[in-house]
Structure 1
Amino acid sequence: MRLNILKLSHLGFSGTSLRTHEGAPAVVISAEAQLRRSVLACMLWEDQFYEDGKTIAERIAALVPQVEAVTVAALAIEARERMKLRHAPLLLVREMARHATHRGLVAETLARVIQRADELSEFLAIYWKDGRQPLSAQVKKGMAAAFTRFDAYALAKYDRAGAVKLRDVLFLTHAKPLTAEQAFIWRQLVEGTLPSPETWEVRLSRGEHKREVWESMLMENRLGALALLRNLRNMQVAGVEPELVRYALEVVRVERVLPFRFIAAARHAPQWESWIEQAMFASLSGQKRLTGRTILLVDVSGSMDAKLSGRSEMLRMDAAAGLAVLLRETAEDVSIYTFSDALRAVPARRGFALRDAIAHSQPHGSTQLGRALNEMRDRGDRIIVITDEQSYDRVPASKYGRGYVVNVASHRNGVGYGAWTHIDGWSEAVIEYIRSVEADA
């Protein structure tokens, strides 16, 4: 049944036969557009609120041969480098390797999207998910090129005891070392004698005292921003000196961290919320302004309380609130509203106060996006809707100069098309994308 649904949507059978999960008529879009929306907002093989990850992966696989090879390759690179996804780009390249029309771009695309050493073995796991088979010449070439980029620290950090090991990748691809030093490192990898890197994971696994590990890592400034934010709760439980945490949040480089990461961290370590908020504001300093008047409409329906993925503790609402915080700091003039069963204006707050105002603006009920847009009387140069698009009702054309729908999920049948500009996923690139669209116009 799933494949039959996919075929119908690909061929353009529309009318009222295609519906969102909640029942509104969905708009049929091209194979390229479907592939973009599926890839750029998905956590591959992780359960979504409306679709399971297996269905999403099947849809991506079915769409790849329908889209030009150069377009698929560019999408894989965009997904990895701009949207920071890891598994979806690997799946795209694996599907490219299946089709003669796409194989010619596999090597250079694969070498580009593999940016962490563990992605070498993860790609092989994806390649063999339907059964073990020989690697194509293009796959070997791309993986061999990627392998030469990783130093001893990276190889040791990700030399894990999985079904596919890094030494397996080395043997299968016949990669050639670029230097004598690299040849020595690879020999250590094969022999299992690579020195263990002194990461916090390794030190904790050795049984070192948790408080001492965290405090030494903080004093030596050896934690990256994401590792710091994700482990604040663990530091609190371990009894880490709060002043060390404050210092770390002040000095860590946060310019590439999105607001929703800080929002999730504050939910789990509320006692340090004021310091986390200051770090978030630091990450947003220096942002270019989005000129003109912006109306922001945030979905607070029940489905937005779902997790971003099965293994993540972050919610879709974190992503939506994070983009709201980002827009509050970057838009020249912005008014914010929420919608669910009703349309509600949000007070003009900043940071975590804005997050709270959005979350508590109304009960988290159904997704009445069409009703909210019809009731909207505010006017601006643009309207931006942050949603998972699963509307109960028909969505009208935008009444504004520009209308954007930012999709924070990856459902097959959505509503934000026609006169709307559709943006898949959540990223700092959302604002830059809007600037570029309007500058071109």
Structure 2
Amino acid sequence: MSKFNKTSTRPAGGTSPVFTEAAPTGKTFEGAPGYARDAKSELFLLAVSNMVGEQTFYEQADARDSRYQKLVRQVAVADPEWTAGFLAWLRGDANMRSAALVGAAEFVRGRLAAGGEQQLPRRDHTTEGTDSLSYSTASNRRVIASVLQRADEPGELLAYWTSRHGRAIPKPVKRGIAAAVGRLYTEYTLLKYDTATRGFRFADVIELVHPAPVTPRQGELFRYALARRHNRPDVPDPEALPMVAFNRTLRALAATNPERHLLDQEALRRAGMTWEDALSLAGSTVDKAKLWEALIPSMGYMALLRNLRNFDQAGVSDQVAEQVAARLADPDQVAKSRQFPFRFYAAYNAVGSLRWGHALEKALAASLANVPALPGRTLVLVDQSPSMFPGYYSAAQQVMRDISNADVAKMFGSALALRAANATLVGYGHTNYRVPFGPGEAVLRVMGKFRQEYGTDAYGAARDHFDRHDRIVVVTDGENNGSLRSWKHARVPGTVPIYTWNIAGYRLSQDPGGRNRHTFGGLTDQAFRMIPLLEAGKSQTWPWVSAN
């Protein structure tokens, strides 16, 4: 008789990189058994949910930021190569800007305090002497350069360093910033980001880090930035800096006749005119609908997304609105924009008209492309307890004002349920309820069926709704204060995989580690791809590390 070769035999579950202890060594904020993680796992889960400077329901901003900084310094000294790869990935694929900048600064701070640079042997084919970046390169300079991807970020990093560690800038920080400046400083980025509201202007950065111009034209750009910063004659050379020169000309013309010159689409494009500058120059004398219609062709994806309400209020025509909607819904443009999925939900809530609804639903669906179509039966538990709601998740509020952990949770939970072959979708707090949905229903519509609950009891929700499911997926901030204290008490067999999507990054969690118990995190759909791989018995490594 066969003992192993049966239709019911599952492959041994793979392991995921986030390590959580199997037995509790502390208590969560709600007093439940708390399961700790190793430093790398704690740092990873905190970083992918951390906007920096923002408090959560259970953790004040200063304490949260301090925990993050200490973790970065600790892991940077213990394993600089791992940390270098993590920070480059955090700014790149994970698109966490502030956390990556702070992390890079603290990486350098920690390593210098521990004794210096220590260049590790490379494990890739990065060319010696170049500024090409690799996840396996751990020099301080390269780590700084790897997280600087937008032209306002060199100044942002300097502002953080000086406010936190004083005005003495270490040489690796200067060299990393100088390498990034060569990539990032262009005519357009100077016009967009080099404004009087910045504490560190382009010229300040140039004077501090002394970057070498990559081209003669960039050398002229540096000279122009320095001249205008120090109130010297700053007439740009139209041959070397044609966009800057024409921008200056267009501003002068707009001062005398804004309606004539600011409604010229080609002129706005040639001048690298941002929509903010154009609106400021136009004042109240230019028809806002016509101005927006002139600006829209040259606006970036994020700018379009955040101005949908302004388009409606100005009375932009349906024809132009259709062009905007087509861009918003284009999967290629969604992918290139790298917007967090919750931004589309925030835009949907912000607009007053219905003409954007279908485009935003399509854009949201495209941004959730990595959510897998899980086979078999899936129980999806979505935390809707008080700590998940607005007023507490200010990191997301900072970005889009009215997005909470609860919104992020029900968005991911709804997408998982809609794509699964056979899913049970449940919202829970102290009590719980089943969320009905039908095939092909819109994610935004399903999200509207959730309601806020009091208390938080994930185990009770599992007990009430588990019925021979093949897996459980929990989207939560990791807290629990119900009467049950484990999945075992909820009568969930140890052979059933449980995947916890932790979107708060607290130090201790309600969920233990061990076989068939996996924790993910973040504000994007990326990690959901790991579920079918783990169930196929394939162990997963960190996202920036190639599996052997």
- Asked if TM exceeds 0.5, the reply is yes
1:267 is displaced (CA, Å) by 0.8
Aligned with 1:237 (options 308, 313, 329)? 313
Residue-by-residue CA offset, 1:165-211 (whole Å, 9 max, x unaligned): 22111111111011111111111222225735311111112235433
- AA in 2 matched with 1:58: S
Aligned with 2:487 (options 396, 412, 416)? 396
2:49 is the counterpart of 1:41: yes
Change (3 A) 1:103 1:257: same
Partner Cα separation in structure 2 for residue 352 and residue 199 of structure 1: 38
Count residues in correspondence.
Answer: 426
2:380 is the counterpart of 1:296: yes
- AA in 1 matched with 2:334: V
Partner Cα separation in structure 2 for residue 329 and residue 287 of structure 1: 13
2:351 is the counterpart of 1:269: yes
2:504 is the counterpart of 1:424: no
Partner of 1:6: none
Structure 2 spans left out of the alignment, 5+ residues: 1-20, 119-138, 229-233, 237-243, 248-271, 540-548
Partner of 1:154: 189
Change (3 A) 1:283 1:31: same
1:332 is displaced (CA, Å) by 4.0
Change (3 A) 1:205 1:19: farther
Partner of 2:106: 95
Residue-by-residue CA offset, 1:12-67 (whole Å, 9 max, x unaligned): 9x966x33222222112211111112111111002222222221110012222332
Cα RMSD (Å) = 2.7
Partner Cα separation in structure 1 for residue 413 and residue 306 of structure 2: 21
Partner Cα separation in structure 1 for residue 344 and residue 439 of structure 2: 14
2:278 is the counterpart of 1:203: yes
1:356 is displaced (CA, Å) by 4.7
Residue-by-residue CA offset, 1:340-367 (whole Å, 9 max, x unaligned): 1223221124788554544544442111
Kept after mapping to 1: 8 A contact 2:501/2:520: yes
2:423 is the counterpart of 1:334: yes
Partner of 2:126: none
Aligned with 1:84 (options 81, 88, 95)? 95
* Partner SS for 2:34: coil
1:330 is displaced (CA, Å) by 4.2
2:291 is the counterpart of 1:213: yes
* Partner SS for 1:271: coil
Partner of 2:475: 386
Kept after mapping to 2: 8 A contact 1:200/1:213: no
2:207 is the counterpart of 1:171: yes
Structure 1 spans left out of the alignment, 5+ residues: 1-11
Partner Cα separation in structure 1 for residue 446 and residue 371 of structure 2: 25
> Equivalent pairs: percent with the same residue?
28
Partner Cα separation in structure 2 for residue 247 and residue 278 of structure 1: 16
2:514 is the counterpart of 1:415: no
Partner of 2:134: none
Kept after mapping to 1: 8 A contact 2:370/2:528: no
* Partner SS for 1:128: helix
2:216 is the counterpart of 1:180: yes
Residue-by-residue CA offset, 1:281-316 (whole Å, 9 max, x unaligned): 662597684342332211111222224425231222
Partner of 1:7: none
- AA in 1 matched with 2:169: L
Partner Cα separation in structure 1 for residue 421 and residue 386 of structure 2: 31
Change (3 A) 1:259 1:179: closer
- AA in 2 matched with 1:260: F
Change (3 A) 1:311 1:284: closer
> 1:303-314 to 2 correspondence within 5 Å?
303-306=387-390, 307-309=393-395, 310-312=397-399, 313=401, 314=403
Change (3 A) 1:86 1:42: same
Change (3 A) 1:257 1:62: closer
* Partner SS for 1:404: strand
Q: Which moved more, 1:72-81 or 1:206-215?
A: 206-215
Q: Which moved more, 1:277-286 or 1:229-238?
A: 277-286
Q: Which moved more, 1:248-257 or 1:120-129?
A: 248-257
TM-score, L = length of structure 1: 0.87
Residue-by-residue CA offset, 1:223-247 (whole Å, 9 max, x unaligned): 3332222221222222222442233
Partner Cα separation in structure 2 for residue 350 and residue 186 of structure 1: 57
Residue-by-residue CA offset, 1:76-128 (whole Å, 9 max, x unaligned): 12211122111111111111112235744221111111000111011011111
Partner Cα separation in structure 1 for residue 352 and residue 416 of structure 2: 23
- AA in 2 matched with 1:141: R
Change (3 A) 1:144 1:37: same
Q: Which moved more, 1:279-288 or 1:336-345?
A: 279-288
- AA in 2 matched with 1:154: T
Change (3 A) 1:285 1:96: closer
Residue-by-residue CA offset, 1:313-336 (whole Å, 9 max, x unaligned): 122233223313432454344332
Partner of 1:108: 142
Aligned with 1:249 (options 299, 306, 325)? 325
2:39 is the counterpart of 1:31: yes
Q: Which moved more, 1:274-283 or 1:377-386?
A: 274-283
Q: Which moved more, 1:82-91 or 1:345-354?
A: 345-354
Kept after mapping to 2: 8 A contact 1:259/1:326: no
Change (3 A) 1:332 1:152: farther
2:72 is the counterpart of 1:73: no
Partner Cα separation in structure 2 for residue 350 and residue 267 of structure 1: 24
Partner Cα separation in structure 1 for residue 217 and residue 375 of structure 2: 56
2:363 is the counterpart of 1:280: yes
Change (3 A) 1:166 1:436: farther
Change (3 A) 1:417 1:205: farther
